[in-house]
Each structure stands twice: as C-alpha cells, then as structure tokens.
Amino acid sequence: MVDKVAIARRFIEAIPHARALELELTTIGDGEAAITMPYNTELVGDPRTGVIHGGAVFTALDTCCGAAVMSHPSAPGGTATIDLRIDYMRAATPGQSITARATCYHITRNVAFVRATAMDEDQDLLVATASGAFTVEGL
C-alpha cells in the first residue's frame, strides 16, 4: 500500500504540466487525494481582477481526481479522464492558494467515479465542484 502511494506521488510530481502549475500533492490514499496550487500571476484569467482562470482550477481538479483514482485500493494502476464536469460557484480570491480535494467513491473493473471540490483559503465557501468518470488501467 505504501508503495502505491509513493508511486502515485512520484507519478503526479513527474508530470511536466503539474510542475508548471507548481501543484503539490498534500494527501493521498484509499481513493482520496488533495492537491494545492499556489497563487501565480501567470495563471490570471482577468487582469482587471487578478482572479485565477477557471482552466487552471480545472487542471488542479483533473489532476487531483486522477490521483484519487490511482490511490484507490481496487485500482491496479494508471487512469485517464473519460469525462469531467466542473461547476464554478465563485471567483477564487486573488493572492490565495487553491486546494482541490477528490474522492473516488466507486470503482468497477473498467470505470472509476470521482467527485471533487476546490476551495481557496476560505474553508467555508466552495470555489468549484467537479464530477467525472475515469478509466481503470493496468500498471
């Protein structure tokens, strides 16, 4: 089990685009994962407000969902996104890091079902939620 967690963490941190966004895997195991994305002015979607672009939030959520699938006890190895839907509740506060948390709540031989949330440093108000289906691949 420990090995798989270590593999997942290494795998996530070896992703070039995850490095470009400075994504940090903070929690992983048993189908749950959390990823933090620090505030970065390069990721701003509207220069008048300084709010992070929804696309960067999508990437953090997608990566986190993939990590949650890989950490599930029944997952043999890799995964790929089949579909992912994101709902944006509000703009993330400029200057704050964003934390994505994902749960793989059901897994079959072929498909993993995941839901996720994104929050900034205000832990009471959601920035976005996501839900999706992922493939289940052998190692």
Partner 1 sequence: MARPRPEPMQVVKQRRDAALNAIVEGVPYIRFLNITFDRRGDELTGVLNFDDKLIGNPLLPALHGGVTAAFLEVTAVITLSWEYFFPRIESGEIDAEELIKADAVRFPKTVDFTVDYLRSGLPRDAYARAFVSRSGRRYASVRVEAWQDNHARPIAQATGHFLMPQNKSEAG
Q: Is 125 in the site for partner 1 (CB under 8 A)?
A: no
User: Whole-number minimum distance, CB 75 to partner 1, in Å?
Assistant: 16
Torsion 52-21-16-76 (CA) sign: negative
Q: Is 86 in the site for partner 1 (CB under 8 A)?
A: yes
Burial 108-132 (b: 16+ CB within 10 A, else e): eeeebbbbbbbbbeeeeeebbebbb
User: Whole-number minimum distance, CB 104 to partner 1, in Å?
Assistant: 16
The single-letter DSSP state of residue 50 is T
Q: Is 80 in the site for partner 1 (CB under 8 A)?
A: yes
Tell me which of 27, 36, 81, 96 binds partner 1, using CB under 8 A: 81
Q: Are 58 and 104 in contact (CB under 8 A)?
A: no
User: Whole-number minimum distance, CB 1 to partner 1, in Å?
Assistant: 23
Nearer to partner 1, 91 or 126 (CB): 91
Nearer to partner 1, 28 or 57 (CB): 57
String of DSSP letters for 8-49: HHHHHHT-HHHHHTT-EEEEEETTEEEEEE---GGGEEETTT
Is residue 83 classed as helix, strand or coil in its secondary structure? strand
List binders of partner 1 among 12-71 (CB under 8 A).
14-20, 41-48, 52-56, 58-63, 66
Query: Where do contacts with partner 1 occur on this chain (CB under 8 A)?
Result: 14-20, 41-48, 52-56, 58-63, 66, 80-88, 91
